[in-house]
Amino acid sequence: MRLPEVFSSTNFAVSIEIFPPKTEEGDGALRRHMEALAEYKPAFMSCTYGAGGSTRDRTISWCREIQEDFKRPSMAHFTCVGSTREELNTWLDQASAAGIQNIMALRGDPPQGQETFKPVDGGLAYANELVELIQSHPAEFGIGVAGYPEKHLEAPNMDIDLQNLKRKVDAGGDAIFTQLFFVNDNFFRFRDQCEKVGITVPIVPGIMPITDFARIKRITSMCGTDFPSDLAAKLESVRDDTEAQFEVGVEFAIEQCRQLRANGVSGIHFYALNKSQACQKILESL
């Protein structure tokens, strides 16, 4: 099922994101977590592409497994990093042959050792160009694009960031999936801003349940995400208690998701970090 059909068939589409593990042990553990999450019948499950496209083949194989073994639609992440147009089209051929119907189109982060993103000769520089390339491919894919409620770190200001987002949507993006955030008002403001510039596709909030405060601090520092001071204080007070951190983080995510759903979001995209327990508790509450 392609993204347009996903969002036309329901008023609330839950999706779950995984990443390819690095070991066979990790593969086995992920399958057990995915089996638990598949019980909730998410609208689809997505798989990331890896830094610099390092897991491009594994992304396809995991998406195939999502479809064949877990009986859910899949969405494969796809970036411009390190690839020519010809190589990108070859990967799309492989994705189509594997039965993948949805692509998350991303520019991708600069390769390790580079401060700024530079396309390879014959490659692409921007995500909207990648969306255009996917649209021109003979296979018919649903296309997701990324949105940033608190602005992409590289964008000079929010107005320019919104213009860049609109380019991706106008090029053929079917739905927007946001960067993680912890302040819902920032998402609601972003949604209003998108409407004002003429963006009408579904805007799906991205939620990452907090299960490890140290890890979340690293992630939020890299992407410039606002972090509520009262939540930080609660987590800091139980920093030596892993189970307590989990409970505080999950309870916050439950309330965050309830408020988002009450305010008419098209769905929620969970960054599960290859674990099932937090998402299970949140989905049970919803």
Residues with catalytic function:
17
Nearest-angstrom CA–CA distance, 248 and 253: 9
Residue 36 sits at the vertex; the CA angle it makes with 35 and 37, to the nearest 5 degrees, is 95
Structure tokens at 122: 């014959």
Going by C-beta distance under 8 Å and a sequence separation of 6 or more, which residues neighbour residue 11? 266
Nearest CA among 22, 48, 26 for reference residue 275? 26
Nearest-angstrom CA–CA distance, 27 and 36: 15
Nearest-angstrom CA–CA distance, 14 and 12: 7
b/e sequence 32-64, b meaning 16+ C-beta within 10 Å: ebbeebbeeebbbbbbbbbebbbbbebbbebbb
Nearest CA among 101, 21, 103 for reference residue 62? 21
